[in-house]
Chain A
Amino acid sequence: MANDREVLREIWDGKLPICFHLAQEEIMEIQQPDPFYVMVPRLSYFPLVIDKMKRHFLRFISQENSDSEMWLDFNGQPLKWHYPIGFLYDLYCGNDPQLPWTLTVHFTKFPEDILLHCPNKDVVEAHYMSTVKEADVLKHRGQVMSTMQKKDHNQLWLGLQNDKFDQFWAINRRLMESHGDNDGFKHIPLRIYTDDGVYNQRLVCPKNTDNSRKTLQQMISELYPEKSNVNLRTHGVIIPPETPLQWLSEHLSYPDNFLHLCLC
C-alpha cells in the first residue's frame, strides 16, 4: 500500500525547465526563432507537453514539413518519447546536471531505427496503458487491471495527462495494493539502465528466500555480483541502498507503474 502521501505528492510535483531550440537545418526564415522555454512535469511524456512549442516553431520551417513528425535530440542523441521526461533527464544528465535542459527540435530525417513513431496522442496512451498492464501482470498476474472497468483505465490516463494527482491516485492505489497471502507484489516491475540507454529487465521478487523484505542493495548484489559500489538513481536522487524494494515500487514508480533506475 502506497501510504506515504507526502512522498507520492513530492514525486508527482517534480518539474524540469526545458529550453527548446529549432535545429539549424530546419530554419527556412532569415529571422532566427527564439528558443522556447517551458516547465514540464518529470512524470509526463514529451508528446503531451510540446503543442505550444511546436506552434512556436512551425512558421520558421519549410511548409512541406509542417505535417511531418517532430522529434527531439539532446547532444545528438534522439530522445525516446515513450520514456518519462524526468527519467530521460536522469539518464543523460544525472551525473552532470544542467538546467534548463537544452534540447533540439527536428522535423526531418526521422531516425526510424531508434525512435517509435508517434503520429498522435492516442499512441502515447496506448503505450502507457500497455506498460501499466505489463506491470500489473508482474505484480498481480494481471488481476487488478482485468477487474477494473474501462472508465478506471481512462481515469488513470486522464489524471496523468491533466496533472490531477487525486484523480490519478484514486485508481493507481489499487495497483499498489498487495494481494492474497503475500504482503507484497509477486514481482517488482523495474528496469535498470546503463548510461547508453540500454536496459535490463529481470524478474525481481520483493522478498528474500528467508521471507525478509529485499532491499535495493540485496537486489544489486544479486544482479551485479561482480560490481562493487553500484548506485541507482531515480527522480533525480541516488536511492539509499537499504530501501526495501516493495516500498520503492509503491512510492517511486513512474505513472506507468515501473521503476526506471539509472545505474551510476
Chain B
Amino acid sequence: MSSVTYTDFIEAAKNFIEISNRCCDGWKFIEHDKDKCYLRKETFLNYKNGDYERLLKADYVIFYKESYCVPSFSFNVWNSAGMLLSLDDIRTMSLISINKKDFYSVVTQQEHPIFQRPYFIIHPCHTESVLAAFKDKSKNIIVTFLGLVCPLLNINLPLEYGM
C-alpha cells in the first residue's frame, strides 16, 4: 500500500505554494500546530448555469490525514445569503455527470479533524489508490491530487501548476 509521509506532504505543500504565489492562485500554507499544517484557499466563485448565475463563497482546505497517510481535500461553499450549500447542490455543480449514490460515496459531510467543524470531505480510500498509481510519476503529489479533485468539484486549476 503506497502512502505519502507527512514530510512528503509538507515538501509538496511548500512547493505548491511557490507556484500558487507565482500565478496568484490564492493558496496559503498554515501551520496550525507543530505537526498539523494545511493549505487553504478562501475565494469567491461565480457559478453560471445557462442564464442562471450566482455568487458563492468557497473555503478549500488540503490537509494530511495521518491515519490513512494521504492528503485529504475538504471544503465548504456558501451562497450569498450565507447559507451552506448542500451536498446535492455541490453535486449538480460538478463537471462530471455523477449520480447521487456515487457522489455521496466519495464526498460526505464530516467533522473536520483540524477545525472540528462540519466540512465536506473527500474519502481517503479513493484518493489512496489513485495516488499510489501516480506516485512515482508525479512531480508534486498535491498537484496530482488536486488534478483528481478539481473536475469533481468544478474547481479551476491553472496550467502553471503542471509546468
Q: Mark B129-158, 1 if CB is under 8 A from A, else 0.
A: 000000000000000000000000000000
12 new A-B contacts at CB < 8 Å, known A117-B109, A130-B123, A137-B68: A112-B83, A112-B118, A113-B117, A115-B118, A116-B110, A117-B86, A134-B67, A134-B68, A137-B67, A141-B1, A197-B116, A198-B116
Residue pair B1, A126 in contact (C-beta under 8 Å): no
| B36 CB, nearest partner CB in chain A, Å | 10
Residue pair B117, A114 in contact (C-beta under 8 Å): yes
Within 8 A of A (CB), among B103-118: 108-111, 113, 116-118
Report the nearest B residue to A122, measured CB to CB.
B104
Q: How far is the CA of A130 from the CA of B116 in the complex (A)?
A: 16
| Nearest 8 pairs of A and B residues by beta carbon | A112-B84, A116-B118, A134-B67, A116-B109, A137-B67, A138-B67, A137-B68, A117-B109
Q: Tell me if A's interface is mostly helix, strand, loop or mixed.
A: loop
Q: Mark B57-86, 1 if CB is under 8 A from A, else 0.
A: 000000000111000000000000001101
Q: How far is the CA of A80 from the CA of B117 in the complex (A)?
A: 10
Spell out B's residues near A (CB within 8 Å): 1, 66-68, 83-84, 86, 108-111, 113, 116-118, 123, 125
Within 8 A of B (CB), among A232-251: none
Report the nearest A residue to B35, measured CB to CB.
A202
Spell out A's residues near B (CB within 8 Å): 80, 82, 112-117, 126-127, 130, 133-134, 137-138, 141-142, 197-199, 201, 203
30 CB contacts below 8 A, A to B, read A112-B83, A112-B118, A113-B84, A113-B117, A114-B118, A115-B118, A116-B109, A116-B110, A116-B111, A116-B118, A117-B86, A117-B118, A126-B108, A127-B108, A127-B110, A130-B108, A130-B110, A130-B123, A134-B67, A134-B68, A137-B67, A137-B68, A138-B67, A141-B1, A142-B1, A198-B116, A199-B116, A201-B66, A201-B113, A203-B66
Q: Tell me if B's interface is mostly helix, strand, loop or mixed.
A: loop
Candidates B1, B111, B123, B125; contact of A80 at CB < 8 Å: B111
**Of B84, B118, B123, most A-chain CB atoms within 10 Å:** B118
| A33 CB, nearest partner CB in chain B, Å | 29
In the assembled complex, which residues on chain A have CB atoms less than 8 Å from the CB atom of B123?
Answer: 130
